[in-house]
Structure 1
């Protein structure tokens, strides 16, 4: 929410040799400019009195502790989460739809039912996570969806497929909002976009990894032990996901105010709480709000619905994702090459996302970064439906993959920046926006039918519509932020009380 979260800040990304943690180092200045104004050294000292291990620490000690740690297991868990969500896309190419005797409508219904379950569980689960222990809850959620994935190879009918997809969605629903909430509790405003970009890599990398994994499994394991290759694909992925979930019990933290040991000493834990307290102008995440109080606060806040609309539009623009292997398949390459060439667009998308996210953090600006990214996606959709030239169509897939991933990665930090406290309200906003966006999956799968190959004109039109709506909601949100800032400035002029709180645009 601040135009400048920490004055004279210095950020660096550093990984330990063992690859477990990343560090963000920030200088400890004598005064800190945050979202509520300027804190003097005396005020900072008063805040530190809440933390016995920091109260009498030397400036050198505070500087050494003043870093945000987060575990790379988040990216690994997200990789498996997204891989589990999109695995049926490549399984479809390997014959899953034919083997289960499903029509296009039945297949699309299974894709849609995933998001029915996904929506049902998000809001109540994220509110519970906000007051609970994500170190326990998130790995348990992962074990649940992994168990359903392992059961899916046993499905023999369209109805069994639909039921499994519904249950996978129901068990996956709490995970992404929970991770977004956890991340926003460890990073300050000027860190969120790039750091969320790093853990959000699980989303992008999973798409690249899915193609490479498909090339290895789906082309070599058919009829092994009497099972189809797509059955092996789902089974092995579920097993790996279970292993990663058990790592999460050990490697994930809770929130800064209730995390335990592990990678964090008591001093580091108190410093993490102190950083968040300073960033919010002395208001801790749990100073107010019960389980459902934050939910009702979020429902009444216009920001919730602006960001929900923006998120909805971005996901519409990203609706090609569940059908990306089928779209690539229209380029006319053999099956192995089709799997392999899915990876480069997502790899490029990952590095471009990190670059643009870094820029958004550096300038504390979100709107125009999102607009530019969605314009690129719009161009990609136009190319996809207007030409059959193979190089041009493949180039369009780079634009399609890059635009929505960048926008989503910048939009989430934006929403948690303007609504930071209490944690239950932030949790509800994240979940509501994610729920609203997921509604698009109830109808968008029906726009990518095999009867419209290779152009997918209707699907391309939906992508263009999503890009346009994203830009509209983005500009509207920016206008509302500016309006709120002008109200703050007007009140400041009338009262004479200095207030440096500003809504980030």
Structure 2
């Protein structure tokens, strides 16, 4: 629920734009795109410090506090009257949301084994997909019926209601999420269950416990020295480039020339399809303990969807292209998060830094990708489709590079074991 509200808060402005938010605030396309980009400025600067603090801290306390921060700021957006206020609010929301997604990936990798992680990540990060469905349904219910009620625009009601629900979820979450397997306490697990949770993760990690040695920033240094960090950062960057349509999905659907209600409602089917496919592919990845070719297949599918979208104006094939476009990057992102936390299991601070650094690198894409989806590019959005195609192709190459590096590392492990006679069945997962 927390991730669902996190993603819903992030994308709510895309539907609010269709309801006249940009026009009511007197913003140009460039100013609007700057506001979208400023969200990711705040998002980037908070991730690494917050995630390394969390690795040795108390997620049961820190995560709900972050959620309260972005929820209150979202409610404040109902009082906006100018473009600069929109930009400021989106920056603050970015700062408070930044720590959250990397933290959830970190926590998942501390509680679930490498076979379980892809499916669990898929369930958690379904919020990324389902939020788009809910946003479209809420938009159809609120943005088309509540204009002018109590003197508020419909988009103001939209962000207000979403913010209030988000605050309720944040308050409940103080009692409903755990800490770490070694210190959660009996409020969540019995003593025996806690020991079993730690033992399972020790076996999955090749016999090493994740109880951290060294300092918080020592983990950052370890991550910065590891080539895996920068390879995963590269892969994450290009996957998010391939997903750059997300903030403009309602605007793309608007070019289909349905009425407003139809435009809002038609957002749901592609994302529902994407959710089902994401669950199935993630289950397959965990069962086979294979990530690379699953990601390659997903991004190749998205590339095909982008080609269809910009090559025709016929409604049926373009809508089919949206199904392909929605599925690929969400699958790849989920499997990427599972993969990076599996190949760098210990210590937790290093894993925390790796996840945050890779997520920061990918967020840089949002500084430039909004400028590829300007209204004067409608209906084809050729520049937007072009950058998606480049992102999909580059992510496939990055994935293959990672697989080569994993195979190289595993060969080194086997050579070392042959020399020393010490046997450990743990291998880097490809």
Distance in 1 (alpha carbons) for counterparts of 2:360 and 2:410: 28
| RMSD of aligned Cα (Å) | 0.8
Q: C-alpha separation between the residues in 1 aligned to 2:190 and 2:18?
A: 49
Does 2:408 align with 1:483?
A: yes
Deviations 1:352-372 (A, max 9, x none): 000000110111000000000
CA distance in 2, matches of 1:149, 1:271: 40
Match of 1:37 in 2: none
Query: Offset of 1:495 from its aligned partner?
Result: 2.6
What is the aligned counterpart of 1:103 among 28, 36, 41?
A: 28
2:191 alignment partner in structure 1: 266
Match of 2:107 in 1: 182
1:201 Cα shift?
Answer: 0.9
Q: Please state whether the residue corresponding to 1:362 is helix, strand or coil.
A: helix
2:317 to 372, 392, 403: 392
Q: How many positions carry a matched residue from both structures? A: 430
| TM alignment of 1:36-115, pairs within 5 A | 76-115=1-40
CA distance in 1, matches of 2:206, 2:225: 23
Contact 1:100–1:157 (8 Å) recurs in 2: yes
Aligned equivalents of 2:196, 2:327: Cα separation in 1: 36
Q: Does 1:211 align with 2:136?
A: yes
Of 345, 349, 352 in structure 1, the residue corresponding to residue 274 of structure 2 is 349
Q: Matches of 2:76 and 2:362 in 1, distance apart?
A: 28
Q: 2:397 matched to which residue of 1?
A: 472
Q: Distance in 1 between matches of 2:2 and 2:185?
A: 20
Pairing 1:86-485 to 2, within 5 Å after superposition? 86-485=11-410
Query: Which runs of 5 or more residues in structure 2 are unaligned?
Result: none
1:136, 1:271 → 2: CA distance? 24
State the SS of the aligned residue for 1:253. coil
- Cα offset, 1:488, TM superposition: 1.3
Counterpart residue number, 1:22? none
Spell out, residue by residue over 1:245-289, the C-alpha distance to the aligned partner (whole angstroms, 9 max, x if none).
011101000011111233322221221112112222332212423
SS at match of 1:292: helix
> Quick one: distance in 2 between partners of 1:503 and 1:284?
17
Mapped contact 2:202–2:208 kept (Cα < 8 A) = yes
CA distance in 2, matches of 1:380, 1:116: 29
User: Within 2, Cα distance between the matches of 1:387 and 1:278?
Assistant: 52
Question: Contact 1:289/1:425 (CA < 8 Å) preserved in 2?
Answer: no
Please list every run of 5 or more consecutive structure 1 residues that lacks an aligned counterpart in the other structure: 1-75
2-side partners of 1:247 and 1:497: how far apart? 49
In the alignment, the residues of structure 2 paired with residue 250 and residue 421 of structure 1 have an alpha-carbon distance, to the nearest angstrom, of 28
DSSP 3-state at the match of 2:408: helix
Please say if residues 207 and 343 of structure 1, whose CA atoms lie closer than 8 Å, have aligned partners that are also in contact.
Answer: yes
Q: Is the 8 A contact 2:47 2:360 kept in 1?
A: yes
Aligned residues of 2:292 and 2:400 also touching (Cα < 8 A): yes
Give the structure with higher Rg (CA).
1
SS in 2 for 1:376: helix
TM-score (norm 1): 0.84
The 10-residue stretch of structure 1 (140-149 or 483-492) with the greater mean CA deviation from structure 2: 483-492
Q: 2: distance between equivalents of 1:134 and 1:432?
A: 19
Provide the secondary structure at the position in 1 that maps to 2:327. helix
1:15 maps to which residue? none
Cα distance in structure 2, aligned partners of 1:446 and 1:490: 50
TM-score by length of 2: 0.99
Q: Deviations over 1:314-340 (max 9, x none)?
A: 000000000000001111100001000
Give the SS at the match of 1:461: helix
Q: Distance in 2 between matches of 1:117 and 1:377?
A: 28
Q: Would you say the 8 A contact 2:212–2:349 is kept in 1? A: no
Which has the larger helix fraction?
Answer: 2
Moved over 6 A (4+): none
